[in-house]
Structure 1
Amino acid sequence: MNIYEISDSEFKKEITASRELKMFPAGTVILDMNSYVNYIPLVMSGSVKVVRTEEDGREILLYYLTPGESCISSILSGLTQGTSKVKAVVEEDAEILMLSLPKAKEWLTKYPEWSTFVFELYQKRFEDLVNMVNSIAFQKVDARLLYLLDQKSKLYKSKELSVTHQQLADELGITREAVSRVLKQIETEGKIKLSRNKITLM
């Protein structure tokens, strides 16, 4: 379920009344590691990537947020008044609803559709994390890299991706040299075509 599938008219009225709509350019950090969550971000357009960052600066991509979705980590941290365990960065220019924390908590008991949305979002993100752990533990780098490129292709709705080797390395949590080497290997297999700061899926 995403937020667009919620049909309760009274709930939709409350969302409209309690929201703050903002535009964020690509690259904006809307939620940082160890910060307190002051609102629930709900993506209306564009996309947001959610990553885990370590003290040495390394990070790994956990999942993307697309229109109609929110960040379950933000919801859980906000509702429990804890600090964020992830960082959320705008991937594509995004329009985001900043939902009130008190209202989001109240809606859990007031509107069954909101509760369903939160629980289904939790299940989806848990499955994403399980897949990510399996990928790191059991898949070779080439399979992980191809999966990431496929994710980006679906996100941008294009086979042609404007992305650097360093960006891919950061999202996979490996070195740029390893990414460049594996990309060359995948290219020789005829699965992609490389050009300057651009990768085309075949």
Structure 2
Amino acid sequence: MDKLILQEKYGHILDENLLGEILQIGRFKTYKKNDIIIDIGQPLKFIPLLISGNIKILREDNEGNELLIYFLEAGETCTMSLTCCMGTTKSKIRAVAEKDSSLVMIPVQNMLQWFHNNRSWRTFILESYQERFDEMLDTIDNIAFMKMDERLNKYLVEKTKLHGSKTINVKHQDIAEDLHTSRVVISRLLKQLENEEKIKLSRNKIVVL
């Protein structure tokens, strides 16, 4: 079953021999929604390959406020953790399960070895860096140039794509933390979007129309 899942999610880019090695040395782990997978300051000895579910990657300021950087979907890895692994530094991000998720954890030494001697792995890592870099630039642009109501609307649309549903189960406080603002601001903007008939609100649930 693990082999079939790996082939489904990573077979389009990783070669057969490498998939076999991942099955031998990888540690398969599962996480419940809101579980912390990687925390800030944590030494990184493994990198995650996401098999199912979604993960949100967060940064934290000196006062403990979190800012959403990007989401990971099945078939992806966190390049910010890769950077920490390569530099043998502690994690600078927090990775939290957006919903129940399963991963395979790859030891750092194998990751580095494959980067030098396996073309498919090297391509996967470099493409992952490019995708995450583009997403971080997008996050910076959102903060610098978009109004909060525009950021909120984009956030909700991204959530529907991640979960494959127009209905999002989320608290106003959770949205506020992801967008680095207050719950009062989010509640007001959500009500505004509802009045514009772009969403429908109910308790801890938002339907994007």
Specify the TM-score bucket, using the shorter chain as the normaliser: over 0.9
* 1:122 aligns to 2:129 (yes or no): yes
Query: 8 Å contact 1:186–1:192 — kept in the other structure?
Result: yes
Pairs within 5 Å for 1:3-22: 3-22=10-29
Counterpart of 1:112 (choices 112, 119, 126) is 119
Which runs of no fewer than 5 residues in structure 2 stay unpaired? 1-8
Query: 8 Å contact 1:42–1:99 — kept in the other structure?
Result: yes
Q: Which residue of 2 aligns with 1:148?
A: 155
Q: CA deviation at 1:3?
A: 2.8
Q: CA deviation at 1:15?
A: 1.2
Deviations 1:151-171 (A, max 9, x none): 110111000111111000000
Query: 8 Å contact 1:78–1:101 — kept in the other structure?
Result: yes
* 1:97 aligns to 2:69 (yes or no): no
Counterpart of 2:69 (choices 52, 62, 67) is 62
* 1:73 aligns to 2:65 (yes or no): no
Total equivalences in the alignment:
201
Query: 8 Å contact 1:160–1:198 — kept in the other structure?
Result: yes
Whole-angstrom distance in 2 between the partners of 1:4 and 1:157:
23
Counterpart of 1:33 (choices 30, 37, 40) is 40
Local SS of the residue matching 2:22: helix
Whole-angstrom distance in 2 between the partners of 1:114 and 1:89:
25
Q: Which residue of 2 aligns with 1:187?
A: 194
Q: Which moved more, 1:159-168 or 1:10-19?
A: 10-19
Question: After TM superposition, where is structure 1 displaced by more than 3 Å over at least 4 residues in a row?
Answer: none
Residue 74 of structure 2 aligns with an amino acid whose one-letter code is P
- TM-score where L is the length of structure 2: 0.93
Q: Which moved more, 1:144-153 or 1:6-15?
A: 6-15
Local SS of the residue matching 1:84: coil
Which runs of no fewer than 5 residues in structure 1 stay unpaired? none
Q: Which residue of 1 aligns with 2:204?
A: 197
Q: Which residue of 1 aligns with 2:5?
A: none
